[in-house]
Amino acid sequence: MRQAIALSAGVLFLTNPNPRVGCVIVKDGQVVASGATQAVGGPHAEVMALRQAQERGVDVAGSTVYVTLEPCSHFGRTPPCVDALVAARPARVVIAMSDPNPLVSGRGVARLRAAGIDVSVPVCADEALELNPGFVARMTRKTPWVWVKSAASLDGQTALANGVSQWITGPQARADGHHWRARSCVVLTGLGTVLADDPQLTVREVDTRRQPVRAVVDTHFQVPETARLFDGGRVLVFTCMVNHDKAQRLADRGVQVVVLPERDGHVDLMAVMQWLGANEFNEVHVEAGARLHGTLLQADLVDELLVYFAPMVLGPGQGMFALPGLSVLGGVQRYDFLAPVTIGPDLRVRARRADRWARLLAAVSTDLSGGHVVPAL
């Protein structure tokens, strides 16, 4: 299963909005074929592995198939994988995560079992979920998995008071940040960042065949048409107002203007996430200023923090999150720290909402096998 999970990690930048899935076929103690889901519209992992077996002249009958997600049982962009598996007659299928969609969860397993195939599920669900939190979030709660990326000094300053920030963290941390952009479906920023830094928000520091969509939260539709963000590729502008001429000019350049309700003087960010979920965006990489970061935190829309700390102390400057002051510690949201690592001279810290992760894990750990259960927590 770990090999199947590694294969799914190999298509981390590729399969969106489909889940990243890996599949390994073992016969007589040997790996005889393997595969991973391809770009959208292309074959899924099971089909890739079965095709490889066929090319190699291996009969899959009697084998054990390891797959990181319950095989699909419906016609989507491709025919159901479960049909291909049933036709291949493996003796056993081992599945990391059950299908997170409550409407179809268990159907793939039931079809396999009805064909006389032994099924074990869930197996290593926690590790497999690391590759697909966005897909599982979208299927279960209808909104994407959202992380906020920030880079700061050890005392939490993203820039000096005068705005100087290039470069607090080093090139290795920036490249790692591009890895997180590359795996996301959409890189989201705020108007303030566009005006201050005019970023491209494209993936440049890691190799990828797919660029994520870029998006800007721009309550009053003030984004300059000259922004580098609009230099090609799909871009979304979330706004509460619309200037039809400007929207038309931008639309001609591949920019979609999405008008959403206002809330507390800015675009309703929950509406942004619901729109993204409804439009098949799995993972949202937020890379903005303290204001948007703080507003997302206050709206309780952040699942994970991705913070790069530079080994320096700056003193008063610009913080990571603009928030109102608290008077008690009681209601503070707590995160789980994931294994911290140094990246070049910098430190990368991931902090994840434990409650939300547990909910995703529960959604993919349905006991469908009458035995092999991975506990949800």
Give the residues lining the site for a second copy (CB under 8 A): 152, 154-157, 160-162, 164, 168, 294, 297, 305, 307, 309, 311-317, 319-329, 332-337, 339-342, 345-347, 349, 351
Residue whose CB is less far from a second copy, 278 or 354: 354
Residue 147 labelled as part of a binding site? no
Q: Give the Cα separation of 203 and 181 in Å (integer).
A: 6
Structure tokens at 271: 């509406």
Burial of 312 (0-12, 13-18, 19+ CB in 10 A): middle
Shortest distance, CB of residue 363 to a second copy, whole angstroms? 23
**Residue 168 neighbours by CB distance under 10 Å:** 22
Phi/psi-derived region of residue 221, left when phi > 0, alpha when psi is between -120 and 50, beta in every other case: left
Shortest distance, CB of residue 350 to a second copy, whole angstroms? 10
Residue 291 labelled as part of a binding site? no
Residue whose CB is less far from a second copy, 46 or 126: 126
Residue 165 labelled as part of a binding site? yes
Residue whose CB is less far from a second copy, 241 or 313: 313
Q: Are 282 and 134 in contact (CB under 8 A)?
A: yes
- DSSP designation for 153: E
Shortest distance, CB of residue 115 to a second copy, whole angstroms? 45
Residue 287 labelled as part of a binding site? yes
Write down the catalytic residue from 46, 70, 127, 283: 46
Phi and psi at 201, nearest 5°, equal 60, 20
Q: Are 104 and 75 in contact (CB under 8 A)?
A: no
Shortest distance, CB of residue 153 to a second copy, whole angstroms? 8
Residue 240 labelled as part of a binding site? no
Shortest distance, CB of residue 337 to a second copy, whole angstroms? 5
Residue whose CB is less far from a second copy, 254 or 340: 340
Residue 197 labelled as part of a binding site? yes
Residue whose CB is less far from a second copy, 247 or 322: 322
Structure tokens at 199: 């970023």
Residue 68 labelled as part of a binding site? no
Q: Which residue type occupies 346?
A: D
Residue 128 labelled as part of a binding site? no
Tokens 């729109």 identify what position? 275
**Residue 11 neighbours by CB distance under 10 Å:** 24
Q: How far does CA 265 lie from the centroid of its chain?
A: 28
Q: Give the Cα separation of 45 and 329 in Å (integer).
A: 47
Shortest distance, CB of residue 262 to a second copy, whole angstroms? 23
Kind plus residue range of the DSSP H or E element containing 273: helix 269-278
**Helices and strands counted in the chain (H then E):** 12, 19
Residue whose CB is less far from a second copy, 218 or 287: 287
- DSSP designation for 110: H
Nearest to 9 by CA among 174, 128, 178, 98: 128
Residue 127 is a catalytic residue: no
Residues annotated within the binding site for substrate are 165, 167, 181, 201, 204, 287
Residues annotated within the binding site for Zn(2+) are 44, 72, 81
Residues annotated within the binding site are 44, 72, 81, 151, 165, 167, 181, 193, 197, 201, 204, 219, 287
Q: Which residues are catalytic?
A: 46
